[in-house]
Amino acid sequence: MFHWLEKHPFFFAVAVFVTIAFAGLIEILPNFAQASQPVVGTKPYSTLELAGRHVYIKNSCNACHSQLVRPFKSETDRYGHYSLSGEYAYDRPFLWGSKRTGPDLMRVGNYRTTDWHENHMWEPSAVVPGSIMPAYRWMFKNTADIDTAYAEQVTVNKVFAVPYNQEIPMADGTKATVKLGATLEEAKAEALEEAKAIAADMKNQDVKDAVAAGQIPEIVALIAYMNSLK
């Protein structure tokens, strides 16, 4: 059989393809039948948070920070409850990372604050002596891309039925609603309100001025995203 295949390239290629595709069929497809169901308390990202997530991706934060707490005591002691599949239901893409040069950030919103992030992103080693993380000062100048974040929200809402403008059950029994602006202008106004609340806790004057003038620096969006990670 093998001698015959080696003389018939087409059938050889078909045989190779079937052999390599086999594993994917058995291993990958079944999980897709049961698309990720959000757990109670998992909300879609707001426009500002999503813009912050884009800043996180733009700077490949995931190259050094994981977002996956494994079910070991040493990890739950350090980072909080281990990760559940449903908590990632709105993560497109997933940001688990593959290397922890820095600590896990899955629940960083539980134990770090806006001003901590502000100081840390400006000069990491001033906040954590011995840190090898570089400073990210350009984030205080660059403007966050709210338009693209809104476009992504509209897309996932339309295509994947991500529940914006719907009541979502929270862990404490209350309901929460994440707003999706009907227009880009509405979404921008919404994001600016959120940004103002964050900028109020910051001390960098350039950032405060920018927000007051209706601009949202990347750092503000990033902190909104960080604070949402719980």
Partner 1 sequence: MENRPLEYDYTVAKMFMLTTVLLGIVGMLVGVILAWQMAFPAVNLMLGEGLAEYTNFSRLRPLHTDAVIFGFTLSGIWATWYYVGQRVLKVSMAESKFLMFLGKLHFWLYLLVVVAVVGSLLMGITTSKEYAEFEWPIDIAVVAVWVIWGMSVFGLIGIRREKSLYISIWYYIATFLGIAMLYLFNNMAIPTYFASGGIGNWYHSVSMYAGTNDALVQWWYGHNAVAFGFTVPIVAMIYYFLPKESGQAVYSYKLSLLAFWGLMFVYLWAGGHHLIYSTVPDWMQTMGSVFSVVLILPSWGSAINMLLTMKGEWQQVAASPLIKFMILASTFYMFSTLEGPIQAIKSVNALAHFTDWIVGHVHDGVLGWVAFMIMAALFHMAPRVFKREIYSKSLMNTQFWIQTLGVVLYFTSMWIAGITQGMMWRAHDEFGNLAYSFIDTVSVLHPYFTIRAVGGTLYLIGMFLFAYNMYKTMTSARRVDESELQTASPMGA
Q: Which of residues 154-213 bind partner 1 (CB under 8 A)?
A: 154-156, 158-160, 184
Q: Which residues pair with 143 in a beta bridge?
A: 217
CA 148 to CA 140: how far, in whole Å?
19
Residue choice 45, 88, 140, 225 for contact with partner 1 (CB under 8 A):
88
Residue choice 80, 102, 109, 163 for contact with partner 1 (CB under 8 A):
102
CA 222 to CA 33: how far, in whole Å?
33
CA 102 to CA 83: how far, in whole Å?
18
Give the number of other Cβ atoms within 10 Å of residue 81's Cβ.
14
Decide: is 133 part of the binding site for partner 1 (CB under 8 A).
yes
Residue range at the interface with partner 1 (CB under 8 A); choices 68-76, 111-119, 196-204, 208-216:
68-76
Residue range at the interface with partner 1 (CB under 8 A); choices 100-108, 115-123, 196-204, 221-229:
100-108
Residue choice 43, 49, 118, 150 for contact with partner 1 (CB under 8 A):
150
CA 164 to CA 167: how far, in whole Å?
8
CA 202 to CA 115: how far, in whole Å?
6
Nearer to partner 1 by Cβ, of 24 and 173: the residue is: 24
**Footprint on residues 15-34 left by partner 1 (CB under 8 A):** 16-17, 19-24, 27-28, 31-32
Q: Is the dihedral of CA 177, 180, 185, 190 positive or negative?
A: positive
State in angstroms the smallest separation of the CB of 46 from partner 1: 16
